[in-house]
Each structure stands twice: as structure tokens, then as C-alpha cells.
Structure 1
Amino acid sequence: MSYESGNTTPGPVGPEPDGGGVPERRPPRRRALRITAWAALGVLAVGGAGAAYLWSHLNGNVKGVDINSALGHDRPSDAHNGAMNILLLGSDSRAGTHGEYGTGVSGARSDTTMVLHVDKSHRKASVVSIPRDTMVDRPSCPKPHGGTVPGAHQAMFNESYAVGGPGCTVKTVEKMSGVRMDHYLEVDFNGFKKLIDQLGGVDITTRQAVSDNDSHLSLPAGKHTLKGEQALSLVRTRHGVGDGSDLGRIQLQQAFIKALTQRVDNVGMFSNPAKLYGLANTATRTVSADSGLASAGKLLGLAKDLKGLNPKNMDMVTMPVTYDRQAPDRVLPLTKDSQQVWQALRNDRPIPKSAVQNSVGDKGRTPVTASS
């Protein structure tokens, strides 16, 4: 803020006598402007200290996990080319839900797993969903509170989280892909709902009616603004779309992620400090992250870094899989095709369409899109 030299010393505020001694009222507009100016100066005066206090408060909200320490040095090499890989986890923890999503599940598993690859320009991204029912060779993993979980042949992918927490999920993904995860972010059922509500909902369009009694979702065809509860029902729906397996649900999740990205872009949080702080407060209370991201400032920095990522420049696929003939409710990776996907990420290249053409996971159009 700059000030001009000259006669700018403020006089007394209030009525001033004229030559005849009759008080002259200050015009209401000038008085309002004067009050506003002093209020603004007051905000600026406390802004530095106030902002520091607010952000330090947010730092205390973040739950961090030291993934690097847990995994050691036996990991894929870092490409060091400016690209970034983030493992996104949606866990199905029922903690704090009071049985709202079922009581027969103890602990937590990785209900949703996506590898987000942001290219070196940070303007394009590839997202690879890993079906939770994929049969994989799980490596031995350190337990979160000490000890080791032995490796297993042909284990269901989402068991990695159940037996070894996020560190084991990261290690399993790195083992199967050869792609090093730079960061990981996790949100559970309650946290997901709170984030969507804080954003004011997410706009989607259903091409056809979507109904699933298990997830309590019933949406007619058309445009909808989904708040937290409905949004959670959508990304949990599996019986109302496709073949009723996890593969149809993944398509819904991918469509919702695009709609969510569009919503964040449209909400203008970086130009609205109140919205930014409100979202940051909710996010830091509900999101878990690796220690490299476990602060309000680092999470905000990541958000700013990805601000230019347009949903139209996000290529979303499912890791190429086929049905397991011995267990129809399980899937197996298509080894050759999957390696094409992971090699594209390692080389910071677009995923070739030929890599997913044989997969049962990317068939047909998703019934949900982001509303324009």
C-alpha cells in the first residue's frame, strides 16, 4: 500500500462547526468509506500474526505417516524429471459412522485406490484405478506398530491396507508397477462427506437412472448437485451400474473425480480467503498424508501446484484386468497390458489406448459425467 505526500493528516471525526457555528454533518457515503478504510487497515495490521496463528492451527490437524521410513531403500528409483506420482486412497473405515455403513466390517481396507500421475508440465495427468478385488502377489510389509507382515501369493489387493496400513499399500503398488510413489493421500467415509459438503456439493449428470439399495442411492436421469451423503453413496455404488462388480463402481469414481476437479476449479478458493481457509480446515482434519505432505502449507502448495490441471486433460483408466475363472468375483492383471500402462507413467508419456483395449475394466460408457 502506498501513501501520497501532502496534507493527509486526518482531523477529528464528527461534526465540524462552520463559520456560523452550526454543525455540518459528514455525508453518509464519506463516513461509510472512512469506516471501511479503517476496518481494512485493522485487518491488515493483524493479518500477518493472525494468518500465522491460523495456519499453525491447521498444521496441528494433519495426520502424517512416515512412508519413506517404513519402506526403506528397496524401492523404484525417483525419475527426477518434474513429474509426480501420488497414491490416492479411499479407506472404508466405519469409525465414527455409528453403524451407518454396516457393522460387520472391522478395521479398514482400501476401498478405492488410484495412482495419480501428474506430468512434468503439471498441466496433464493420468489416473490409474486399481480394482480392490485384484489378485496380486503382496510383498512382505512392515506393520504400522512394529513387526512384519509376511508376503502372500495371490492375495486380494485391498488386503494390503488391512494387514499393513497405507505403507503396505504403497509397497504393493510400487512392487506391481515399478513406479515410485512420491506421496500418498487418504480419506475415509466421514472425511469424504465433510470435504464434499465444504465445497457446496459436486455437479454431475446421469445419462440413465442409477439405483442401488445397498448404497441407498437413487438418482433419476438428469443433472444433480450431490452433497456429501449422496456423493459417498455414488462412489460406493456397484450393484446399480455395469456388471455389478467393482469395475462399474470404478467408472463412477473416475467420473466423480473429474466432476470434483471441475468443482474445485470453479469455486475460486484461491481468490476467496474465507473459502480457502474453510476448505483447508476441513481437509487437514479429514485427510491423512505422508510426512512430506503432512502440513497445511504443503497441502496448500500441492493444491496450488495442481490448480492448472483441467479435467479435460485427465486420462482415467483402470489397470488392465480380466475375470478370474476360478473366482468370478475376483480379477487378474493382464500382465503385458498392465506393464504398458506402468511404463507410460515411468516415462512420463500418455497411456496408449492399446494398453486397455483388452481389459474388462474399461468397457462401455459410464452412466455419469461432470455437469457442464
Structure 2
Amino acid sequence: MTGSSLRAKDTGRPDSTAETTRPPRRRASRVLRWTALALALLLLGTATAGYLYYRHLNGNLAKAPLNLGDSPNPSATPDAAGRTPLNILLIGSDSRNTADDLELGGSQGDVGRPPLADVQMLVHVSADRNDMSVISLPRDTMIPIPKCTDPVTKKVYPELSLAMANESLGRGGPGCTVATWMRLTGIPVDHFMMVDFSGVVAMADAIGGVPVCVERNVYSHTANGHGSGLRLKAGTTPVKGKQALQWLRTRYGFEDGTDVGRTHAQHMYMNSMVRQLRADATLGNPAEMRRLAEAATSALTVDDGLGTVKKLYDLTTELQKVPTERITMTTLPTTPWAQDNNRLVPATEDADKLVSMVRDDVALDGRDTGKPKPKETDPAAPTAEITVRVQGGTGAGLESPAPDRAGAVAGLLRDRGFTRATTDRAATTEPGTSVLYSGTMLRGDALAVAEALNIPAARVREVDDARDVTLVVGADWPSGDRFPEPAKREVPKSAAVLGGAKTDACMKIQEGYTW
């Protein structure tokens, strides 16, 4: 997590009936299977019909800008082979601004109010595409929200030092939720996918049901009318339509009745849905695939970079590379907020451990594969000729860097022959200690700086706007003359890990909500 975020007080072949003997047209109609995010698309018919249907599906997609914040998207760190991770933010909106949405929840008084991002999941696909990590943010978590500008009305929403995480969506749209995540974690977000109540129901119906499990009979309902209304018998039940929405929204009745339990239920649903989509041969049926394609494209709002069926298909091709058993679901560790026990704040140490692992592209299942050999690079200049600017960063931790730490590290560099090392007082939001450079000719110089201070080569990366070689000293290096050796990195237990291959997961039921 970035220090500035929390120090502030707190988503084939052509159809056999349309087979053609003209090879040039084969590409125009084929089955497109989306699995990892429960999306499926189908192009049917002859070349002309397939193109028209493609245009129709494109027209179903709603689009919005990726980032509405006042800070640029952070740069992804390539691995030694030059590959970069992929990060997609999945957003579930509680909008009641259509008749279908209103029928599924809320009251007439909710019509017209800003939507809330009640589901937020960051999907991280590793640079080598061998594993996928998911972090859920409970909606009741109190976090800072950056200044955002509505792309339509141009209304400027001022920065909030502390607010509920789900409020970001109502401050201009999903691009503000993206900006909030990037500020909170320092992780670049490449794309977002957003779906509302009616979209969840349509998708669940198209899929045909997702198996979920409860340990005892459950009824999510309170005497004063709260609860999702979910009513299930003990054991495994396939849920779809409105019942699937109830499952995803249930708080009262699961575990301890907090929003954390709701995220755990969402993880069970997502894992089960992925397994079912990958195993269900009926999805090869053209009629079923068309139905799912219509539901998927009609339900989604995506960023401009995902605004066509082709782009979504390309994204899904990347997601399909990850084996089901390498999918790891987690929840951002939180603790009750001292000022209101009904609200949460990130649990500083554990939250930082989890986020830093994802930011550094470390597999959460502990099965990192072999790393590629580093790319060849230009040799470094003599140390006395390398200009280094040293900045104090906000860091990967939640504490402020030690006073004048940048000046102290600049002195260390000068002692080691980097006589052109100076302190740069410019503000930075780098998530941790990093060595930045612009232009491939400076990579050798940047690596020399990193080596002199024991900074891992993985923290050396190219950015667009670095001046000379820039060393950002984060809160993860508060003292000492060498960057500390990393300890073994393990996901904290408070992150409630759920592996994609776990088929026997079953929700614990809160006392008082059984029947």
C-alpha cells in the first residue's frame, strides 16, 4: 500500500450450419470462448452475418474512461524477459437507475442517487501468465479517495482523506474507482469491467447456475428488514438469476455478519463459476453461446481499451493461459475502525504484505516459476559520471520515510564513487524503493546504482519521465547503508486465501440466521 494512501487517518471454428468452402471467410465467424471472467461470445453465420453480429455485440458494450484521477497510471514493472503483468479491476455497481435494477433491490428513493461500488476485485495476472491473484476490497473499508473529474459533466470531486471505499464510483464513474485503487496500492490498473444488479442476474441466467455451498440452512433476513433474502438448504446448491445476486450481496448470515464474509462468498462463487465454464461442454452449443454473448456484452461497462469484442477476446485469451489451480483469491486484511466498529480500515502490516507481493508480481500460491535470464543491457558509465537524483518516497509501507532519508542515501552513493548523486525534493508517489530511468542507454547506469546499494534488479525499471537515474527511497528502507535482504514472502493468514482448485469450500453460517 502506498504510504500517502493510508497514513491520512485512515471485472473456432465457424458454426457447422454455416460451413463455407471459401477459406478467406473462415476467420469472420468463429466461436469465441471467455472463461476466466464468466464471459462468452459467439460470432455466427456467414461472413456478412458474422460481421453484422460482431457490430451488434460491440454496440452492446458501454464504455467509460479508465482513470479519472489527477495522477497518471503508475508504470508496470517488466520482468527480465520484458513481459509485464496484467491488472483488471472488476467492479459491481449497486445502481438502481433502471427499472430492472430497482426491481432487484433498493427503493424508489434510491433512483438517481450516485451508484456505489459494492464489489471491487483486482485481478492480477503474472507477467509469465502462469498464475492469477485476486484481491477483494470490502466495501465498508475506510480509505482515501483522490480528486476525480466527471468526464461528462466536468464536475470536479475534491480529494477525500477518508471515506468508504464504495463511494468512489459515484464520483465521476468507474475511472475514479480505478484511480482510488492505484493510489491505495501503487499497482497500475490496465482495464476495468463493471456490471450492475440486472447484469449479474442476466449473466448468471446465461451461465445456467453456479454451485455454492453453505454448512447449514441459511436465511439472510433480519427483523427490521435487512439482509439479501438468500434462503438455502445446507449443502451445495446451484444458484442463478436473482438467487445468484442474493448470494453475492449476502452479509447478514455469512461468517461473522461483516462485509469480509461477503467477499469470501464472492470468491467461492467466482472460483466455482470459472471451474464450471472451463468444464461445461454445453458452452460449445451455438445457441447457448449466443445467449451468453448477448448477456455478457449487454451487462458490461468497460474502459475504452476494452471497447470491442476483439479486444475483450484478446484479453480473455491471456486469462485462459492461467490454470485453474493457479488462481488465488484473497481479501485485503482489515481491522475494525476505532471510530466506528461497523467500518473497517486496512490492517497495516498484513495489508502491506499482500499488496506488495502482488505489486512485485510474486505468486500468492507460493509456486513462482523459474525467472528468465535478464536482458542484455548497455554497460554502465564510470560511477563518477553517473548523475543520480535521490528522492524520498511514500514507500510501500504505511509509515513516512525517515526524515532526510534521501539525503543520507545520496551521501552513501557519493561515498561509493557516485559523486554526482544529489537530493531531489520533488514529490513522488512510488510505492517502494525503486531505481528509475528513461531510455535504454541508462539501464546499465541504473543497475549499477542498484547493485551498489543491494537493491534487487527487479526494482529497476524504465519510465517515461525519469530525469537521469532516479533513486526513490521508500519506507521499506528506513535505515542502514544497504537495502535489506528480503525475507521469505508469504501471504498473511488474514487475507483468507481460497485457491481456484478448492472444490470443497463451504460458507460458515452466522448464528441466528438458520432455519
The answer, yes or no, to whether TM exceeds 0.5 is yes
Indicate the structure (1 or 2) with the bigger Cα radius of gyration. Answer: 1
Residue equivalent to 1:129 = 136
- The one-letter code sitting in structure 2 at the alignment partner of 1:111 is D
- The one-letter code sitting in structure 2 at the alignment partner of 1:225 is P
Which segments of 5 or more consecutive residues in structure 2 lack a partner in the other structure? 1-15, 26-44, 222-226, 367-488, 499-503, 509-515
Residue equivalent to 2:304 = 291
C-alpha displacement of 1:40: 4.9
Are 2:54 and 1:78 equivalent residues in the alignment? no
Q: Is the 8 A contact 2:136 2:330 kept in 1?
A: yes
After superposition, what is the alpha-carbon deviation per residue over 1:68-116, rounded to whole angstroms, capped at 9, x for unaligned?
5x44662311234232100000011122234441214333100100000
Residue equivalent to 2:66 = 67
Residue equivalent to 2:513 = none
C-alpha displacement of 1:147: 2.7
- The one-letter code sitting in structure 1 at the alignment partner of 2:87 is N
C-alpha displacement of 1:363: 9.5
Which segments of 5 or more consecutive residues in structure 1 lack a partner in the other structure? 1-36
C-alpha displacement of 1:366: 6.2
After superposition, what is the alpha-carbon deviation per residue over 1:24-46, rounded to whole angstroms, capped at 9, x for unaligned?
xxxxxxxxxxxxx9985599986
1:127-166 to structure 2, matched below 5 A, reads 127-145=134-152, 146-166=154-174
Equivalent residue pairs, number: 330
Residue equivalent to 2:56 = 57
Q: Is the 8 A contact 1:199 1:267 kept in 2?
A: no
- SS for the counterpart of 1:158 is helix
In 2, Cα distance between equivalents of 1:92 and 1:138: 19
- SS for the counterpart of 1:244 is coil
1:133-212 to structure 2, matched below 5 A, reads 133-145=140-152, 146-212=154-220
Q: Is the 8 A contact 2:122 2:135 kept in 1?
A: yes
In 2, Cα distance between equivalents of 1:144 and 1:77: 23
- SS for the counterpart of 2:171 is helix
Residue equivalent to 2:475 = none
TM-score norm. by structure 2 comes to: 0.60
- The one-letter code sitting in structure 2 at the alignment partner of 1:59 is N
Are 2:506 and 1:367 equivalent residues in the alignment? yes
Are the structure 2 counterparts of residues 39 and 276 from structure 1 closer, same or farther at C-alpha, using a change threshold of 3 Å? closer
Quick one: which of 110, 116, 119 aligns to 2:117?
A: 110
Quick one: which of 343, 349, 352 aligns to 1:336?
A: 349
After superposition, what is the alpha-carbon deviation per residue over 1:231-255, rounded to whole angstroms, capped at 9, x for unaligned?
1000110001111111111110011
After superposition, what is the alpha-carbon deviation per residue over 1:332-368, rounded to whole angstroms, capped at 9, x for unaligned?
11223222222211221123785433x4x63999634
Q: Is the 8 A contact 2:115 2:169 kept in 1?
A: yes
Are 2:355 and 1:356 equivalent residues in the alignment? no
Are the structure 2 counterparts of residues 53 and 333 from structure 1 closer, same or farther at C-alpha, using a change threshold of 3 Å? same
In 1, Cα distance between equivalents of 2:282 and 2:128: 22
- SS for the counterpart of 1:367 is coil
Which of the two has greater helix per residue?
1
- The one-letter code sitting in structure 2 at the alignment partner of 1:179 is I
Q: Is the 8 A contact 1:251 1:366 kept in 2?
A: no
Are the structure 2 counterparts of residues 54 and 134 from structure 1 closer, same or farther at C-alpha, using a change threshold of 3 Å? same
Q: Is the 8 A contact 1:91 1:186 kept in 2?
A: yes
Residue equivalent to 2:242 = 229
In 1, Cα distance between equivalents of 2:276 and 2:237: 13
Are the structure 2 counterparts of residues 39 and 305 from structure 1 closer, same or farther at C-alpha, using a change threshold of 3 Å? closer
- SS for the counterpart of 1:127 is strand
Q: CA RMSD in A?
A: 2.7
C-alpha displacement of 1:289: 0.4
